[in-house]
Amino acid sequence: MKGTIFYWLKSYLGFSNKESRGFLFLLPFLTILLLIPTLFGYIRDRAAEDYQFQFQLKIDSLRKAGVELVSSPDLVFNPEDTVKNKPVAQDQEFENLKKIPLSEADSATLQIVPGIGPAFASRIIKYREQLGGFHDVSQLSEVYGLTPETIEKLCNYFEFDELVFRKMEINQITESELAKHPYISYSEAKVILAYKKQHGAYQSIEDLKEIKIFKPQWIDKIAPYLAF
C-alpha cells in the first residue's frame, strides 16, 4: 500500500522520495484539520439537543406538579428579527424625491444614486464641465468606471436633458483652447485652424466636413460644441 502511494506521488505529482515521506507524515494531521470543523459541529448539535431535552424534562416536571405555565407579557422574540427586509418598491423609493435635470445636479445630489460615491460624482461633474454639457445620454459611458447599470440608475433619479451650455467659437478660438476639449487633440485643433487660415472663416459644420482627413462621425461628435 505504501509503495503504491509512493509510486502515485512520484508519477503524478513529481514528488521525490523525501517529499513523498514528508507528505505521508503530514497526511494524518491534514486529515484531522479537515475533520475538526465537522467534529465541532457534531458536538455543538449534540449539546443543543441535550439542552433541549433537559429543558423539556423540567417543563414536564413542573406541569406534573400542577404549576400553571403562562407566557411572558413582554415581547421576548420578534419574528421580524430573522426575516430579511423586503426590497423597497420603486414608488416608495422615489416618494420623497423630485426628479431634477441632470444638468442641474451637483456632486452632492449625484451621490443619492446607489453606486455613485464622491469620486464618481466628482468625475461626472468634471467631465460635464470639460465637455460643456451632455447632449446625449451615451456620453455618460465615457466617464471612467461608470457602468451601464449605474447609468441606468442615474437616469432613474435624474431627468436627462440635452444641454450644451458652452460652445467654442471656431473662428475666434486658439489652438490650445480648442485642444482642451476632450474630443479634440492638439494635432486635430492645429489642422482645423490651418484649414480656416487657408480657406477663410467657417460658415457651418459642412465647411468642416471638407477636411477629408477627418471622419464624418467625428465631425458629428464635436458639432454640438462648435459655434460658427
What DSSP string runs through 179-190?
TTSTT--HHHHH
The domain boundary, picked from 165, 180, 210, lies at 165
Helix axes 2-12, 17-64, angle to 10 degrees: 110
Structural domain ending residue among the three candidates 165, 183, 208: 165
Per-residue pLDDT band for 76 (boundaries 50, 70, 90) equals very low
How far is Cα 129 from Cα 108, in angstroms, rounded to an integer?
Answer: 16
Q: State residue 96's pLDDT score.
A: 76
Residue burial 19-44, b: 16+ Cβ < 10 Å; e: rest: ebeeeeeeeeeeeeeeeeeeeeeeee
161 with 176, same domain: the answer is: no
- Measured between alpha carbons, how far apart are the two ends of the chain, in Å? 90
**pLDDT at residue 207 is higher than 80:** yes
Q: For the residues 151-167, what does the mean pLDDT come to?
A: 95
pLDDT score at 151: 96
Residue 161 and residue 172 share a domain: no
User: For 28-43, what is the mean pLDDT?
Assistant: 80
Judge if pTM exceeds 0.75: no
Mean pLDDT, the chain, integer: 83
pLDDT digits over 78-104, tens only? 444 444 545 555 556 677 788 999 999
Same domain membership, residue 159 and residue 172: no
Three-state DSSP state, 58: helix
Do 154 and 175 reside in the same domain of the chain?
Answer: no
Is 77 part of any domain?
no
Whether residue 183 contacts residue 157, with contact meaning beta carbons closer than 8 Å, is answered with no
Q: What percent of the chain shows pLDDT beyond 90?
A: 57
CATH number at residue 139: 1.10.150
Number of domains composing the chain: 3
Has residue 200 been placed in a domain? yes
Distance CA 95, CA 178 (A): 44
Model confidence band, residue 33 (pLDDT cutoffs 50, 70, 90): confident
Residue 116 lies in a domain: yes
- Claim to verify: residue 118 and residue 160 sit in the same structural domain: yes
Residue 147 and residue 187 in one domain:
no
Give residue 33's domain range: 2-64
Map residue 42 onto helix, strand or coil. Answer: helix
Q: For residue 87, is it within any domain?
A: no
